[in-house]
Structure 1
Amino acid sequence: MASKQPLVVEVLRGPVVESLHQVMAVVVNEIGSITQYWGHPQFLTMPRSAIKMLQALPLIESGAADKFELEDKHIALACSSHRGEKDHITALTQWMDKVGIKESSYVCAPHLPYNEESALEMTRKGQKPTVLCNNCAGKHSALITTCLHLGEDPTGYEKYEHGAQKRLRKVLTETMRYDHSKTAYGIDGCGIPTYAVPLQNMAVGMSVLINSKESPVRKAASERILRAVRSFPFYISGSDNFATAVIEKTHGRAIIKGGAEGVFCGVLPEKRVAFAIKASDGAGRAAQVATASLLLQLGGLNETEFKALAKYTMPTVTNWKGDVVGQMRIAKAR
């Protein structure tokens, strides 16, 4: 399907549509050709954390992951927006010890864990969050590890002209087929540059992970990343999260990753398709509902799985007592 009209997510309170969100989506095949879209494929936006699997490629391709004998759970963390649970922090600490990374090397700022129980436990114990609690600590560990493997001083790795960022621009330019040295950029929440790219190029980038025609080095790196995420979905996010739940429920038939401001990217390895989604108003709740609907349409989720994940795929609106007072859904085409 090709439609200039975006997907519309309705938020109902009782029988009344209280809010509407417009969501754009692009689907491509394994060689990056558009097969379906809703809205504007050329919509310029920032992928944020939704492309962390692409950002993890240099860690594998440089040989750094092999040099320091990183496990698949560490590779999954490199692609993650983790929720700061105990096992996340433990695995990141193991990674630091393997490589010899100092906590002072990280530029991502500490914040309380996204997981509510972990945050409350830390608060009860009077503990302060460390940089490893930052949801992007895995990505930063990957950047620092690659620098150390290549004999490069990681100091300032977040700067535009540092070798770490040049490598990211190179791999993102190659995978997305969009020159990242010539596009506008801003600074992500974790402190490194994030680049403005058309939505369709985000989908094209993700297709590299399933493209059998890629170079042997890139194909092997992509397969390792997908294997790690499929094997350790908990480390891609954590408990009570849509991305982790989808990967777990489908046993990796659908692999998705969200980003701030209403972005999702994903691949369906068996179906040989990839996609990118953006809620135009940045609403994460709308992007999640649209992603779930798209997964059902593409066969990434079957009806049974879709219903089993209803809290994410068909979310309800509740009041402070927990009573259901509304729902969210994709609006029917008019």
Structure 2
Amino acid sequence: MTEVSDGAVELVRVIRGDRVESVHRGHAVICDGTGAVVEAWGDPAAVIYPRSSCKMIQALPLLESGAGRDLTDRQVALACASHQGAAIHTEAVSAWLSDLGLSEPDLRCGTHMPYADDAKSALIRAGEAPCQLHNNCSGKHAGFLTLSKHLGGGPDYVEIDHPVQIAVRRAFEEVTGMDSPGYGIDGCSAPNFATRLDALGAAMGRFAAAREGGGTRADAMARLTQAMGAAPELVAGEGRACTDLMRAMGGRVAVKTGAEAVFVAIVPGLDRGVALKIVDGGTRAAEATIAALLVRLGVLDAAAPVARRLMEGPIANCRGTVTGRYEVALA
């Protein structure tokens, strides 16, 4: 694998004809249940923003505080979601807010068109604009509002000095095992705390090793992992890599993508956590690499349709002619 100056290594090649047309480089780690690095590619100490890949960490205070005591497992899964904005998602978030005595304007995530084609088409046909319920992070924000109500916080729960974000930062630094060197503002307006890639992988390893009955944090980690695996359609949506991968693994493994090509996996059966970052932000490379690492761990069948689609392609043009393929370069 070819090294570059930032320590990243070649992880995915894009082949057209008999030539390598593009190369994606990045970093990846596999950690055990204690947080120790078992395998690594590139620079494990690379500092990244985990973006939406860390939503299960951001949801820890929701459960640990007791604020989420009465939530269903499907609501817990939604708190970890980057969803499609389909009816299954928007209706569930709307009902959750109603249970809190709140409504869509209480969200602070902003609006964008839903990712689900049918939901997008329905809005266009009706001449309507999307609302915050369609935001892929609205489930996470419903969780933030639940915690905020429990803590007696004010309405602007995305502010860095709000009790919700103070609790999130504390949990984030505890499970990653390091102080965050800073934060950026995520697409949904919440703070996103930077960390090293190996620290993010260590957090996923600790999630993987958590078992019910192991204490407040272990109980919360185990429930979040189980809820994600049990409702993959809520965590992402139809046709999305997260949903398809979790279904292919029978819900035994939780996976979560983040913007700018971050991906994590929690593998309880092996007490393993995975984290990766593609330096150019290429989603196709992040999806190919996470699939390959799951195959490497023996929890995803290399012949499964989603594994072949993500790791190999094929790449086709507008006429359906196969023009190329992907090649994962993990040594």
Confirm or deny a common fold (TM above 0.5): yes
With normalisation by structure 2, the TM-score equals 0.94
Compute the displacement of 1:308 (Å).
5.2
Compute the displacement of 1:204 (Å).
1.0
Whether 1:239 and 2:238 are equivalent positions in the alignment is: yes
Aligned-pair Cα RMSD in Å: 1.7
Whether 1:157 and 2:130 are equivalent positions in the alignment is: no
C-alpha distance after superposition, 1:278-323 (max 9, x if no partner): 0011111111111111110011202333x45422332222212232
Structure 2 partner of 1:46: 49
Find the residue that maps to 1:64 and give its secondary structure.
coil
Structure 1 partner of 2:191: 193
**Pick from 3, 7, 12: which aligns with 1:9?**
12
Equivalent positions of 1:295-334 (< 5 A) are 295-305=294-304, 307=305, 309-331=307-329
What amino acid maps onto 1:199 in structure 2? L
Structure 1 partner of 2:207: 209
* C-alpha contact 2:225 2:266 (8 A) present in aligned 1: no
What amino acid maps onto 1:82 in structure 2? H
C-alpha separation in 2, matches of 1:114 and 1:18: 29
C-alpha separation in 2, matches of 1:303 and 1:264: 18
Gaps of 5+ in 1: none
C-alpha separation in 2, matches of 1:309 and 1:271: 20
**Pick from 25, 31, 36: which aligns with 2:28?**
25
Find the residue that maps to 1:189 and give its secondary structure.
coil
C-alpha separation in 1, matches of 2:263 and 2:318: 29
* C-alpha contact 2:97 2:103 (8 A) present in aligned 1: yes
C-alpha separation in 1, matches of 2:248 and 2:278: 24
What amino acid maps onto 2:71 in structure 1? L
* C-alpha contact 1:54 1:206 (8 A) present in aligned 2: no
What amino acid maps onto 1:177 in structure 2? G
Whether 1:65 and 2:63 are equivalent positions in the alignment is: no
What amino acid maps onto 2:164 in structure 1? A
Equivalent positions of 1:168-183 (< 5 A) are 168-180=168-180, 183=181
Bigger CA drift: 120-129 or 19-28? Answer: 120-129
With normalisation by structure 1, the TM-score equals 0.93
C-alpha separation in 1, matches of 2:64 and 2:50: 22
Structure 2 partner of 1:293: 292
Compared CA separation, residues 224 and 332, structure 1 to 2 (3 A): closer
After superposing on structure 2, the runs of 4+ consecutive aligned residues of structure 1 that deviate more than 6 Å are: none
* C-alpha contact 1:46 1:197 (8 A) present in aligned 2: yes
C-alpha separation in 2, matches of 1:271 and 1:20: 31
Aligned pair count reads: 325
Give the fraction of aligned pairs with identical amino acids, expressed as a percent.
34
Compared CA separation, residues 323 and 44, structure 1 to 2 (3 A): same
* C-alpha contact 1:254 1:301 (8 A) present in aligned 2: no
* C-alpha contact 1:245 1:309 (8 A) present in aligned 2: no
Compute the displacement of 1:184 (Å).
2.1
C-alpha distance after superposition, 1:144-182 (max 9, x if no partner): 1101022222x22111111111001100010001113xx
* C-alpha contact 1:23 1:290 (8 A) present in aligned 2: no
